[in-house]
Amino acid sequence: MLYQARPGQYSYGEAIGILLLESPAPFIPGDVANATTYNFPVRFKKVPGLTVERIFNHDLSLVDSVIEAALDLKANGVRAISGDCGFMAIYQKHLSGVLNLPVFMSSLLQVAFINNLLAEKAKIGIITANAAALDSTVLKPCGAYLPERIAIRGLEERPHFRAAFIEEKGTLDSNAVEEEVLSSARQLIKDVPEVRALLLECSVLPPYSAALQQATGLPVFDYVTMINYVYSAVVKQRFKGFM
């Protein structure tokens, strides 16, 4: 087999590129920003200045920096580009319009898919880092603005989650955050018993998906669900077996 070098590219084999917030929080296995989360290589790229505060305020002033970072990932050979915050949905159309690559910036892109899996009167429960900021500005760019079908619960006032990921104090009590996620989901299901599936908006929440599914018995979708799915589309595997 003959291989051809790509001009300006000095490493290979990373099919998924992930744009990162500028955040000092600890990212544990299962988190989107932890490379051991995946069974395949990924390539990370931080967007300078794109902080948690700015993304919660739907700041589009950094769109050029986001595009520049995404183009760097593309130049280094990735086949698809994701983000590490569901609120990056505000950049979805900006990137998909210029990259000529699959772009899936927000876990919220799965809402439209989940919507077609459920019965007519069922609802999708969304656990988010910030319920107040999760409005139509974020939901519409990824087809997730379905007010009659979604029920939202935020973690912004949960003390351990807030300290680790909003105030960014540099430490994480993962057991305590797991309990906060479970408590929030249980309360959401109690308040909205029509919830038949859960979606975790925030990229730091996949480490708690298994516990959440065990506690609720519901299907749980998150960033890692989405990234694994897209990877399986852009890197097809040959089948081995027998008949």
**What is the per-residue pLDDT across 151-210, written as a single tens digit (0 to 9) for each?**
999 999 999 999 999 999 999 999 999 999 999 999 999 999 999 999 999 999 999 999
Do 139 and 113 fall within a single domain? yes
Q: How many domains does the chain have?
A: 2
Do 87 and 63 fall within a single domain? yes
Angle at 225 between CA 40 and CA 44, to 5 degrees: 45
Do 143 and 169 fall within a single domain? yes
Nearest by Cα to 130 from 26, 202, 61:
202
Do 113 and 216 fall within a single domain? yes
Share of the chain above pLDDT 90, in %: 95
Q: What is the pLDDT of the chain when averaged over all its residues? A: 97
- Other C-beta atoms within 10 Å of 213: how many? 14
Indicate the pTM of the whole model: 0.95
In a domain, 241, yes or no: no
The pLDDT-based confidence of 90 (bands split at 50, 70, 90) is: very high
The DSSP string of 23-87 is: ------BTBTT-GGG-SS-EEEEE-TT--HHHHHTT--TTHHHHHHHHHHHHHTT-SEEEESSGG
Do 101 and 35 fall within a single domain? yes
In a domain, 2, yes or no: no
pLDDT, average across residues 118-129: 97
Tokens of 55: 């993304």
Place of tokens 């990370």: 44
In a domain, 27, yes or no: yes
Domain boundaries, position 71: 16-106+227-234
pLDDT, average across residues 224-241: 97
**Residue 169, pLDDT score:** 96
The pLDDT-based confidence of 8 (bands split at 50, 70, 90) is: confident
- Other C-beta atoms within 10 Å of 101: how many? 17
Do 203 and 123 fall within a single domain? yes
In a domain, 165, yes or no: yes
In a domain, 5, yes or no: no
Do 184 and 160 fall within a single domain? yes
In a domain, 40, yes or no: yes
Do 158 and 84 fall within a single domain? no
In a domain, 98, yes or no: yes
Nearest by Cα to 75 from 3, 12, 22:
12
Share of the chain above pLDDT 70, in %: 100
**Residue 5, pLDDT score:** 87
Do 119 and 201 fall within a single domain? yes
Do 168 and 83 fall within a single domain? no
CATH number (domain holding residue 32): 3.40.50.1860
In a domain, 207, yes or no: yes
Q: pLDDT tens across 31-61, in order?
A: 999 999 999 999 999 999 999 999 999 999 9
Do 114 and 215 fall within a single domain? yes
Q: How far lies 70's CA from each of 9, 11, 66, 102, 122, in Å?
A: 15, 16, 6, 11, 36
Do 207 and 116 fall within a single domain? yes
